[in-house]
Structure 1
Amino acid sequence: MSNKIRLKGITWGHSRGLLPMVATTQRFEEMHPEVEITWKKRTLQEFADKSITELAAEYDLLVIDHPWTGHAAAQKMVVALDNLLPNAFLEDQRQNSVGKSYTSYNFEGLQWALPIDAATPVAASRPDLLAELGISVPMTFEELLALAKMGKVAFSLIPIDVLMSFYMFCCSLGEEPCLNSDKVVSETVGVHALKLFKSLADHVDKRFYSKNPFMVYEDMVNQDDIAYCPFAYGYSNYSRRGYGRRLLHFHDLVTLEDKGAMTSTLGGAGLAISARSAHIDIAVKYAEFVASPVVQTTLYMENGGQPGHLQAWKDEEVNRRTSNFFQTTLPALERAFLRPRYYGHMYFQDHAGDIVVNYLRDGGDELDVLEELNRMYKESLKING
C-alpha cells in the first residue's frame, strides 16, 4: 500500500464539479490498483479567481476555467498535452467539441487542457409556475421584459456573471468585445447593450446581486416566486429528477431585436495537468479516461457531470435523464462567444464586472461606464508574463 502512486486534484465545490471526478477516480483506481487519487473542492469564485500558478504548485490534476489558458501557456505551469496523448484521441476531442470548448484550451498552437465539461448561459424555467400564470416560455426579449415586470424573472448579478452578460448583449447586437487594443466595444453597441441590460435588471429582486448561477437555480427550485431565468451558466443537475425540490427545464436564449437568438459567453471546465507533477504519465492516463466519449456519456454524466464531449450531448439516454437539457441548449453552446484569453485578461475579468454592476444597481451615464471599462482594458493589455 505504501508504494502507491498518489495524485492530488482540485475542482470546484458543486455536484457538477466534484462528483464526476470522484466517480471516475473510483473506477480508474479499480482499473489501476497501484494509483490513488484524492480530490479537494473549492468555491466557484475560487475556481475563477485563484491562479493556476498557485494551484499547480500543490496539485497534480487541475479542473480549470479556460480564461486561464493564456496565463498557463505563459507560465508553463501546466503541461501541453499534444505530445502526451495519441493524435487520434486529440482529433476525436477536436471534432467532438461542444461549440468552441476544445479551442478554448488551445493557445499558441498547443492544447493545455481537455474539455471535460461544457457550459454557456442558457435559459431555465419552472414549467409549473409558468403554467399557473398561463404564460409560455418567452421567445423574444420583449416577452422576457414583460415577464420581468411581473416580478417573475431572475439571473445572477454578481460581477463576473454581469460582465459575461454584458459580453452577451454586445455579441447579440453584432459586435464581439475586446477585438482591438483601444476599446472594449464601440460606443454605439456598448451604450445600447448597457441600456438593454439595465432595462431588464431593474426588474430583478436585489437578492440576486449576491447569487451566482447555481444559487439562482437553488432559489428557483426551493422557492416559488421566480418562474424564469433568461441567462445563467447551465447546470443540467437541476433538470434531473430528484435533484431539487422542483424540476427546471432549460431552453435556448430569447431573440433580441432582429438579430436572432442571443449569443452568450462560453464557460465550462477543462482538466489540466501540473508541470510539477511527479507522475505526469499516470495523470495523462486518467485525463484520457475522463475525457473519453464512453466515460463522458456514461460514468461522468451519470454522476452529476456536464460532459464536454459532443457524443454525450446528442445521446438519447443522456437527454432522457435530463429533461432534454443537452438537446435543447446545444444551439446556444454552438453559438457561444469565446472570451479573450490573453495573459492580462484575468485582471480585466476580475475587476470590470464591478463597473457594470454599479451601473445596473445605481444608474449613471453609459459613456462614463464605457470609458472606465476602456481604461481598465488598456491596463490589462500591458500585463504580461
Structure 2
Amino acid sequence: MNRIILNGITWEHSRGYTPLVASSQRFSELHPEVEIRWQKRSLQEFADFPLEQLASHYDLLIIDHPWVGRAAVTQSVLPLDEYLSVSYLEDQLKNSVGQSHLSYHYDDHQWALAIDAATPVASYRNDLLQKNNIGIPETWKELIAMAEKKRVAVPGVSIDLLMNFYMFCLAHGNVPFQNQEQVIDHYTGQLALETMRELWSLTDKKMFEYNPIDVAELMTTTDNYYYCPFAYGYSNYSRKYYAENMLSYSDLIEFNHYGKLKSTIGGTGIAVSSSSASIDWAVHFTEWIVSPNIQSGIYAGNGGQPGHRAAWLNQEVNSYSHNYFADTLPALERGYMRPRYNGYLEFQDKAGDYIREYLKKGGTAQIVLNSIDHLYKKSRL
C-alpha cells in the first residue's frame, strides 16, 4: 500500500503543536493509508513568512486570519466553501467562538476553518492574591493601583501593543480603520496612547521584551507578579502540571464608563494548500479536526484551545482547565476583528514599533499617529 503523506506547518507552542500531533495520530489510526507530519516555526516566523511560499511546501497550514486577504489574491490556499457542505459550514458559523469563523471568510470565500480561538484576557495567580488578601482588579482604577505596587505584568512587544492600541481606541469611543486615510481619528488615538502610557509607565521595563507566552512563563515561575490585565490567553497555564504554578483566567476589567474592555481577537485557522497533491484527504482531515466531537475531545484534551464553541461550553473541558473556557468566553464574544486586506500585514509588522518607542522612551502622541497613518496609507496602495 502506498501511504499518503500530508505535511503541515504550525507554530511553536504546546497549544499550537501538541493537539495537532495527537489528533493527526488518531486520524492515521482511523485511516492507515494516511500519515500527517507537522513542522513548527517560532511565533514571529509563523507570522512573517509569506503564505504562498508556505503553501508551496505544505498541504496543511495553520494561519492567522489577517492572511486571508493575501490568500484571496494569490489563491495559494483552497476556498473551502467549494469543498465542504453548506450544512457543515453553517454549523461552524453557528458555533463560532466570537468572530473566529468569520475572520477566515473574505471576498465571499472561506479560506480556513477556525481551529483555535483566542483574545487578550486577564490572568492571575490566585494563590498569591489569597495569600496577600488582595482582590482581583475589576476597574481601571484598581488596576493602576496594583501596577503602582509593581505586581502587574503585561506584554510590551510591538505586536501586542498594537492590538491593545485598537482595544483602547474602542474604549475611548471609536472604531479603528473606518477610512483609508487614518487608522483612527487623532483625538481618539491620543486618548488611547495616553491611557496606555499611564499603565506601561508603571510596569517593569523588561515587559517591553515580553510577549504573552513570556508573561505567562514569568507569572508561573516566579512570585513577583500577581495579575496580567490583558494578554492573549493560553489555557495550558490553567491546567494542572503544565507549569510550576497555575494561572487563573477571567474576563477583562471595566474601563471607566465604557464597560468591559473589548480586545482584539487572535486565534488560528487551518487551511489547505491549493498545491497539495492530496487535496481530498487534506480537506477531509480539516473537516474532521474542526468538528465538534474532535474539538471537544482529543484536540482540547491535548492542550488545544478549540475554535468550536461546543468545546468552550463542555463541562469536562472546563473541569480540567479550571473553567478557563467558560470564564473567558464573554471576552471572546465581544472581540474586535482587525483588518484583513492584502497589505494589512505590512502595516502590522511595523506600526507597533512606534507605539512601543512612545511608551518606552516618551515622545508625542501626534508623531506616533502620523507615523502609523503613513504606514497605513502605504499598505493600501
CA distance, structure 1, for counterparts of residue 186 and residue 10 of structure 2: 39
The aligned runs of 1:25-64 (5 Å cut-off) are 25-64=24-63
2-structure distance, mates of 1:173, 1:249: 28
Residue type of the alignment partner of 2:174: E
Find the counterpart in structure 2 of residue 253 from structure 1. Answer: 252
> What is residue 313 of structure 1 aligned with on the other side?
312
TM-score, scaled relative to structure 1: 0.98
Match of 1:345 in 2: 344
Where in structure 2 are the equivalents of 1:56-75 lying within 5 Å? Answer: 56-75=55-74
**Who is 1:79 aligned against?**
78
Distance 1:57 1:273 in 2: 11
Partner of 1:298: 297
Residue of structure 2 equivalent to 1:17: 16
Q: What is the rounded CA distance, in whole Å, between the counterparts of 2:222 and 2:158 in structure 1?
A: 24
Amino acid at match of 1:175: N
Partner deviation per Cα, 1:241-271 (whole Å, 9 max, x = no partner) = 1111111000101111100000000000000
Question: Amino acid of the residue matched to residue 294 of structure 2?
Answer: V
Distance apart, 1:55 and its partner CA: 0.6
Q: SS of 2:249's equivalent?
A: strand
Kindly provide the CA deviation profile for residues 347-378 of structure 1, in whole angstroms up to 9, marking residues without a partner as x. 00000010000000011111111111111111
The whole-number CA distance in structure 2 between the counterparts of 1:174 and 1:261 is 13
In structure 2, the residue matched to 1:107 is 106
The residue type equivalent to 1:245 in the other structure is E
The percentage of counterpart residues that share the same residue type is 50
**SS of structure 2 residue aligned to 1:82:** helix
Aligned to 1:226: 225
Equivalent-residue separation in structure 2 for 1:284 and 1:79 (angstroms):
9
Aligned pairs (5 A) from 1:140-179: 140-179=139-178
Q: Does residue 1:212 correspond to 2:206, yes or no?
A: no
Aligned pairs (5 A) from 1:236-385 = 236-382=235-381
* Alignment-derived partner of residue 91 in structure 1: 90
Whole-angstrom distance in 1 between the partners of 2:43 and 2:112: 19
- Report the CA distance between 1:313 and its aligned residue: 0.4
Distance in 1 of aligned mates of 2:347 and 2:111: 22
Distance 2:236 2:215 in 1: 13
1:191-230, CA deviations, whole angstroms, 9 ceiling, x for partnerless residues?
A: 1100000110011112221121111100100011010000
Using the alignment, how far apart are the partners of 2:42 and 2:367 within structure 1?
A: 33
Counterpart of 1:357, as a letter, is: R
Structure 1 stretches (4+) deviating beyond 6 angstroms? Answer: none
State the Cα deviation string for residues 46-100 of structure 1 (Å, max 9, x = none).
Answer: 1211111111011000000111010111110000001211211111001000000
Return the letter of the residue paired with 1:133.
Answer: N
Distance in 1 of aligned mates of 2:91 and 2:165:
33
SS at match of 1:226: coil
- Counterpart CA distance in 2 for 1:208 and 1:379 is 30
CA deviation after TM superposition for structure 1 residue 345, in Å: 0.4
Which amino acid is 2:221 matched to?
Answer: N
Post-superposition CA distance 1:274-293 (Å, at most 9, x none)? 00000110000100111000
Rounded Cα–Cα distance in structure 1 between residues aligned with 2:224 and 2:190? 31
SS in 2 for 1:36: strand
The one-letter amino acid of 1:92's match is D
For residues 6 and 319 of structure 2, what CA distance do their matches in structure 1 show?
35
Shift of 1:133: 2.7
For residues 318 and 377 of structure 1, the distance between their equivalents in structure 2, rounded to whole angstroms, comes to 41
The residue identity in structure 2 corresponding to 1:152 is R
Structure 2 CA distance, aligned partners of 1:16 and 1:357? Answer: 27
Q: Provide the C-alpha distance between the structure 1 equivalents of 2:141 and 2:132, rounded to a whole number of angstroms.
A: 17
Relative to the length of structure 2, the TM-score reads 0.99
CA distance in structure 2 between the partners assigned to 1:378 and 1:145 by the alignment: 35
Q: Distance in 2 between matches of 1:74 and 1:173?
A: 34
Q: Specify the alignment match of 2:124 in structure 1.
A: 125
1:169-209 Cα shifts (integer Å, max 9, x gaps):
11122212111111111111111100000110011112221
Structure 2 unaligned residues grouped into runs of 5+: none
Whichever residue aligns with residue 273 of structure 1, its letter is V
Aligned-CA RMSD value: 0.8
In structure 1, what is the Cα distance between the partners aligned to 2:34 and 2:52? 25
TM superposition shift of 1:132: 2.6
Question: What amino acid does structure 2 have at the position aligned with 1:339?
Answer: R
The whole-number CA distance in structure 1 between the counterparts of 2:330 and 2:73 is 33
State the one-letter code of the partner of 1:366: A
